[in-house]
């Protein structure tokens, strides 16, 4: 996995200072990074062996399911323990990459980390426009997705919250649209994620992900929570 991490390392714009968690400043996209590995992925094998009954469905959205594990304020375990305890149905190389990312990027004062595998079928499926408090590192495993994202903007986030245009239920949740009006992107970047592509998206960036293919769509993530950074920003105002 060192080989893959070194492929992205130079392009990752990571900031860290004393008492501040490491965080991403801007997005980073690498086309075809895992092309060879994903070419061995068999969707029919996945569908016949994955415990699909364990999938989590988002409220009001039965089109997308996710296997996930969330770890709040926890130290990263050893690799052996990690590999044994991750029960998300991912290929070994994907779990190893998740661990490698966490071991490089998760710092002691990060507020938590999570692992996800998103599963959907059909075209134009989306969770809608939203803002996460996680830096998200994602790999497209199967199918094609359309990403649209703005740069992270803490001042705009605060304005959107105060104007009640977005809301979240708790500090571990995503900010979602609070109105019937669409949330506007200011200077968006569009990325088409093909199988094997890698994308790192900073926390606090407005984004929307939509499936482009009729068939199944799978992507896996590592999320590193940046809530500490957000709270620090609010306290400094
Ligand atoms: Fe998101």
Please report the pLDDT score of residue 59 as a whole number: 67
Place of tokens 């990571």: 14
**Confidence bin at 165 (pLDDT 50/70/90):** very high
**Which residues, 6+ apart, have CB-to-CB distance to 28 below 8 Å?**
8, 11, 12, 13, 199, 200
Q: Is the pLDDT of residue 124 over 90?
A: yes
Q: Is the pLDDT of residue 62 over 90?
A: no
Q: Is the pLDDT of residue 17 over 80?
A: no
Q: 72: which 2 tokens?
A: 């709040």
More confident residue, 153 or 73: 153
Please report the pLDDT score of residue 132 as a whole number: 96
How high is the mean pLDDT of the chain? 92
Query: What are the distances in angstroms from CA 106 to CA 84, 103, 224?
Result: 19, 6, 7
Distance from Cα 130 to the centre of ligand 1, integer Å: 6
Please report the pLDDT score of residue 2 as a whole number: 74
Please report the pLDDT score of residue 160 as a whole number: 96
Q: Is the pLDDT of residue 85 over 70?
A: yes
Cβ < 5 A residues, ion ligand 1: 132
Distance from Cα 152 to the centre of ligand 1, integer Å: 12
Distance from Cα 105 to the centre of ligand 1, integer Å: 19
Residue-wise pLDDT tens digits, 166-176: 999 988 889 99
Please report the pLDDT score of residue 44 as a whole number: 96
Q: Is the pLDDT of residue 1 over 80?
A: no
Distance from Cα 96 to the centre of ligand 1, integer Å: 22
Percent of all residues in the chain with a pLDDT value above 90, rounded to a whole number: 75
More confident residue, 171 or 198: 198
**CA atoms within 13 Å, Cβ hemisphere of 37:** 19
Residue-wise pLDDT tens digits, 88-115: 999 999 999 999 999 989 987 778 999 9
């Amino acid at each position: 996995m060192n080989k893959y991490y070194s492929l992205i390392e130079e392009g990752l714009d990571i900031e860290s200072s004393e008492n501040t968690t490491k965080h991403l400043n801007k997005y980073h996209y690498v086309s075809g990074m895992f092309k060879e590995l994903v070419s061995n992925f068999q969707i029919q094998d996945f569908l016949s062996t994955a415990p699909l009954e364990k999938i989590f469905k988002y409220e009001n959205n039965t089109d997308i399911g996710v296997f996930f594990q969330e770890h709040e304020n926890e130290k990263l375990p050893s690799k052996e323990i990690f590999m044994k305890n991750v029960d998300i149905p991912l290929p070994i190389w994907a779990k190893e990459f998740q661990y490698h990312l966490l071991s490089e990027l998760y710092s002691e004062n990060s507020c938590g980390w999570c692992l996800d595998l998103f599963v959907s079928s059909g075209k134009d499926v989306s969770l809608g426009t939203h803002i996460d408090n996680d830096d998200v590192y994602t790999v497209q495993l199967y199918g094609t997705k359309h990403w649209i994202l703005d740069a992270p903007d803490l001042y705009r986030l605060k304005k959107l919250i105060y104007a009640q245009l977005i809301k979240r239920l708790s500090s571990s949740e995503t900010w979602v649209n609070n109105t019937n009006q669409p949330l506007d992107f200011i200077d968006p970047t569009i990325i088409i994620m093909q199988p094997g592509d890698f994308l790192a998206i900073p926390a606090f960036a407005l984004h929307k992900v939509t499936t482009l293919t009729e068939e199944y769509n799978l992507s896996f993530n590592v999320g590193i929570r940046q809530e500490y950074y957000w709270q620090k920003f609010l306290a400094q105002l």
